[in-house]
Chain A
Amino acid sequence: MSKAVNVYGSINGCSTMTGPVAEPRSYTGNPQKNSPALGATIAYMGVDGLLALLHGSQGCSTFIRLQLSRHFKEPIPLNSTALLEDTAIFGGWEHLKKGIAKAADKFQPRIIGVMSSGLTETFGDDMVSALASLRQERPDLIEKPVVLAKTPDYIGSLQEGYQRTVLALLDTLTVDPAPRESNTVALFPGAHFTPADVEELKDTVSLFGLTPLVLPDISTSLDGHFELEPAPVVQGGITLEDIRRIPGCIASFSFGPSMAVVGESLQKRHGVPHIAVPSLTGLEAVDTFYLKLCQLSGRPIPERLLRQRSRLLDTLADYHDQLGQKRIAIALESDLLISLANCLVEVGAVIQVALAATALHENVLPNFTFPSQYAVDVGDLEHLEERAPGSHLIIANSNARQAALPLKIPHLRAGLPVFDRAGMSQKVWIGYRGTQQFLYDCLNAMAG
């Protein structure tokens, strides 16, 4: 549960305030947060044959479809329980039952993924009892996998909704143990991974002779592939069969501080060792991950990756002067923020201001090391506007254009939504090659 800190509540131990403190205010101006249910939708989009059902009013799902469509340039199949005024009095419990039944009958999905909204969590609709009651009335639905993710709009942002949903997917669909597979690893990418990032991650892990099972896998569903049969369910992504293999993995990796709880849950329930990887951008971060893969696979680092590493080192030498001492203003969801900011600090840049969408400390494991070279505050894009002056580069989503344009500061698009730059879902910012690309993108943005 996150606390209602939305005005400069420092979220880590570092108390140095790097910018002028603005007047506290009681509103959020130009939010960088998206709703948790939107994060839930992204997670569900990485599961093959799943029908996503938002328990809320029709606007809730329409806003999410529009936002994700303009970011991914893809249709987003998201259904709704279409709550109306009578539910304000009677609650939405019956509607949820009807919605699940209708969706199951009309669209025949392999899995139904439900997420709640501010409306239904305020009613206090008990989704678990609704599902149990439906299954009593409809025994034919007992075998139909239904995942229930609690994502009230008033707790957290995209990242928290995504995290809760991946956890719900894992916990619901991997109840039974699975046969041990000696070369298979489970990967839990964070909400900030693009479809191409996920693909890069899978490829890299495969280079070590390991078989990756990725939950969720948006690299084959939101990647903009062309083949599509008329269907309102997710096409591409990890299959139900592969999800059920996850308890048999030799290890799991989570990517991004907020995803560690997912790996921990698997470890706790099925004894699969979990390795938390806070970031995959930046030389040291990638080195650490590849060394782990060496250990696990018993193989040396593949030649191809070493070649990529040497190219990255060359880039660092060539551009260290143009990156060094550059002042960066960055506003993103915390997993991505920490990943990119750490990488920039590593090459000698200075983080002038770092604004996370939500408080991080409640989402991470107790042993997580917070960045020490810069302070991370919680803030919106109006805070960014107030604190970015004097910086050389703004890194934030497309909505930060309202800050960057008047300030005449170059603006590198990152996070979500990015609707005014082409090719976001094919962008790779992880691994050696991705780190190199990220630095190029920063340099090119600053070059104007």
Chain B
Amino acid sequence: MFVNLTKLDLKETCPLTDKGAPKLCMKALPGEGAERSCAFDGARVVLMPVTDAAHVVHGPIACAGNSWDNRGAKSSGPQLYRRGLTTDLMEMDVVYGGEKKLIQAIIDVARKHQPKAVFVYATCVSALIGDDLETACKEAQKDVSVPVIPVNAPGFMGDKNIGNRVAGEVLFRQIIGTAEPETVHPFAINFIGEYNIAGDLWGIQPSLEAIGIKLQACISGDARFDDIRTAHRAKLNVLVCSKSLTNLVKQMEQKYGIPYIEGSFYGIHDTSATLRAIANAFGDADLIERTEAHIFQKEAETRAVIEPLKARLSGKRAVLFTGGVKTWSMVTTLRELGIDVLAGGTQNSTPDDFLRMKALMDPTAHIIEDTSAAGFLTLIKEKSPDLIVAGGKTKYLAHKTRTPFLDINHGRSLPYAGYAGMITFANAVARTVFSPVWEKMRVAFPPEVTVNE
């Protein structure tokens, strides 16, 4: 009933023995305080931004109740994806099984909310009590006119990264290629792994429009279910959140002959490089020319705006702790503002992301090994950086160290992608680094009395 993990080629990707390398295959130890997440979370992160679908969590309240509507993935239209829908398994369900309840729940959700599809997520408890998710979905499908899609990634399967991959399998096997687009644009691409956090996607789209690229499907930021079904007709896949969906692009290449490139839209350099790579992949002379002209113009515009900020930020030192594409892309992005990364670390990245980060960083830079809260605090004390760049779960801990902090993960409210995003990012960095509040906290109060007087 589960996706066969050995077929996901997890083994080949984790040969790293480097200190601080992400431990994809290594088990987290009980009680050591590593703050990672679970496979269910990873699967939901990928699929939940499908805005016109209903997302039903088959589990007890811990899986949906604590965490619904808590990510910053934005929609330009439907809001259905933000609803917390769950079978809310109770004690009697655990004793007698929850399949019947699940089938009825899917039918009720479909009737009440009129979704374009229903994603149904297994959890630890539903898997343990032996509920057969696939069969229940098939049974419900008889009464539901839209696709009912089982997502079998219970939390104990592994950490977030494994859940990302399971979601990739679901997209590939059950959704992509199930409908044909009305027309096919000559320069149609898919984004894979762009979740439109805080509206990131909308910072990239103006550039795509300017150079004449059509976004066939974004997987899955601000996505509509029907667009994803036609993703197999794109001519190129652009893997944005780095490796977590590599399995998906590889399989799409095999089955549909769609080549893929990797890219990032954080920072001027990476944005330009990715746009250029897209144009080059098509090889169309006009497209390449348009792209170069666009890059030339936007780089100049963006640099002019951030120049005064860069002048003030130059020489500042940051600690970077994140996952995915940001692991390495943020190193470059910060450097564009004159900021050096003096320590970097990651938990949810792949070994490739990690190596890329390491290569970009100064060789003397510190690699964060102890990723627990305690390890993090000790590091900040040792290094006293001018800025911490990390995710929301580190935010309040970082504030206690009286250090400027920037949230770059899913909880943030500002978009940082594309050229416009770089300006937003630069302003956000400057706002925290130069905030007048930090100085106040370093002043002892009441003032020490001089004994001699």
Contact = CB atoms under 8 A, between A and B. Distances in A.
Counting chain A residues whose Cβ lies within 8 A of the other chain, the interface size class is: 35 or more
B30 A34 contact: no
A157 B159 CA distance: 25
B428 interface: no
Contact of A30 (B27, B68, B90, B441): B68
B33 A79 contact: yes
Contact of B67 (A2, A27, A63, A153): A63
B392 interface: yes
Contacts of B360: none
B393 A59 contact: no
Interface stretch (B91-99, B185-193, B194-202): B91-99
Nearest to A55: B30
B156 A27 contact: no
Given A26-B108, A230-B377, A98 B29 contact: yes
B32 to A, nearest CB: 6
Given A57-B155, A230-B377, A231-B374, A35 B61 contact: yes
Given A59-B41, A62-B41, A152-B91, A118 B156 contact: no
Interface stretch (A81-89, A165-173, A437-445): A81-89
A402 B62 contact: no
Interface string B42-78: 0000000000000010011111111111100000000
A435 interface: no
Interface string A91-132: 000011011111100110000000001110011000000000
Nearest to B376: A230
Given A74-B396, A154-B125, A35 B31 contact: no
Nearest to A69: B396
A37 B83 contact: no
B309 interface: no
B56 A85 contact: no
Contacts of B82: 402
Given A67-B67, A119-B128, A28 B381 contact: no
B221 interface: no
A33 B374 contact: no
A31 B86 contact: yes
B129 interface: yes
B109 interface: yes
A66 interface: yes
A186 interface: no
B85 A29 contact: yes
A99 B32 CA distance: 7
Contacts of B393: 62, 65-66, 69
B10 interface: no
Nearest to B103: A26
B69 A87 contact: no
Contacts of A117: 62
A118 B86 contact: no
A38 B61 CA distance: 11
Contacts of B59: 118, 153
Greatest chain A CB density within 10 A among B90, B154, B157, B392 is at B90
Nearest to A31: B65
B156 A85 contact: yes
Given A27-B105, A35-B60, A154-B93, A402 B69 contact: yes
Nearest to B5: A85
B60 A58 contact: no
B274 interface: no
B64 A31 contact: yes
A176 B92 CA distance: 38
A174 B392 CA distance: 38
A30 B79 CA distance: 13
A364 to B, nearest CB: 19
Contacts of A103: 31, 33
A204 interface: no
Given A1-B91, A65-B393, A102-B31, A118 B124 contact: yes
Contacts of A82: 27-32, 34, 36
Contacts of B142: none
Contacts of A28: 61, 64, 84-88
Contacts of B41: 59, 62-63
A34 B66 CA distance: 5
B7 interface: no
Given A82-B29, A118-B89, 9 more contacts: A4-B93, A6-B88, A25-B105, A31-B86, A84-B157, A103-B31, A119-B155, A157-B61, A231-B377
24 contacts: A4-B90, A6-B90, A29-B83, A30-B84, A31-B64, A33-B65, A34-B66, A60-B62, A66-B66, A66-B392, A75-B373, A79-B32, A82-B27, A87-B156, A96-B30, A106-B33, A119-B125, A153-B59, A153-B60, A154-B90, A154-B93, A228-B400, A230-B377, A231-B374
Interface of B: 27-41, 56, 59-70, 79, 82-94, 101, 104-105, 108-109, 112, 123-125, 127-129, 154-159, 372-374, 377-378, 381, 392-393, 395-397, 400-401, 411, 441
Smallest CB-CB A-B distances: 8 pairs: A59-B38, A230-B377, A99-B30, A102-B31, A35-B62, A153-B60, A99-B31, A4-B90
